[in-house]
A and B are shown apart, each in its own frame.
Chain A
Amino acid sequence: DIQMTQFPSSLSASVGDRVTISCRASQSIDNFLSWYVQEPGEAPKLLIYSASTLQSGVPSRFSGSGSGTDFTLTISSLQPEDFATYYCQQSYSTRFTFGQGTKLEIK
C-alpha cells in the first residue's frame, strides 16, 4: 500500500499565523491527494481534493499544492476554529491510505 507521511505530527501556532503542513507519498500519486480536518469527536471533513481544489464552502484561507510525492496544506491566517487535526489521503491507488495526522494546537 502507498504510505502517506505527514509532518510535523503536531504544530503550535497563534491566531493570525500562516502555517504549512506537509504530506509525502511513498510513490508518485500524481495529484490524487485530499486534505481533511477533524475536530475531536467529529467525523473528518473534506477541505481540498486533487491536491489544490477547494471543496465547496471551505474558506479561501486554505490552500493546497503539490504533485507527485510532495504536497502541502497552507492556512494563510489561522482562525480559532482551525485548531484541529489535519489528514492527507491518497486516491491514486484503490487501496486508499491516510497520513498519520497533524494536530494543530494553540500556542
Chain B
Amino acid sequence: QLTLKESGPVLVKPTDTLTLTCTVSGFSLNDPRMGVSWIRQPPGKALEWLAHIFSSNEKSFSSSLQSRLSISRDTSRGQVVLTMTNMDPVDTATYFCARLKGSATYDSWYFDLWGRGTLVTVSS
C-alpha cells in the first residue's frame, strides 16, 4: 500500500527547532523516479513548498527558508526528516510530505501521493 505519514510535535515554542518525520511505505526512497518533499500550509492560506530530497540524496530548499531548513533520509527505515530552526508563530501550519514521481521518460515530475499532514502550532 502506497502511503506517506507525517509525525512530530503538535506544539513547539518560539525559537525551538522543529523536527518532522515522513514515513513512507509501498515504494523505495532509492527509486530514481521518486523523491520526497515537505510542503506547508498556514491556516486558511496557500501551499508553500519547503524542501526536497531526491533518490540521489541531492537536496533542494526554498530560497526564503533555506537558512533554517535541513532534510535527510533513512532509506532503510523509509523515512525523510525535516528540521526547521528558530520557529516562530508565523510558522504555524499544517506540514505535508509528498512523493514527487517522475514519468518513465523522466520528462515530467509531479506530486502524486500526499500524507494527511500534521498541524504544528508555534506558541509560548
Contact = CB atoms under 8 A, between A and B. Distances in A.
Interface of A: 1, 31-32, 34, 36, 38, 42-46, 49-50, 53, 55, 87, 89, 91, 94-101
Interface stretch (B13-21, B74-82, B104-112): B104-112
Contact of B62 (A1, A45, A46): A1
Contacts, number: 71
B112 to A, nearest CB: 5
B62 A94 contact: no
A98 B96 CA distance: 14
Given A32-B109, A94-B52, A101 B114 contact: no
A102 to B, nearest CB: 10
A50 B103 contact: yes
Interface in B82-122: 96, 98, 100, 103, 107-112, 114-117
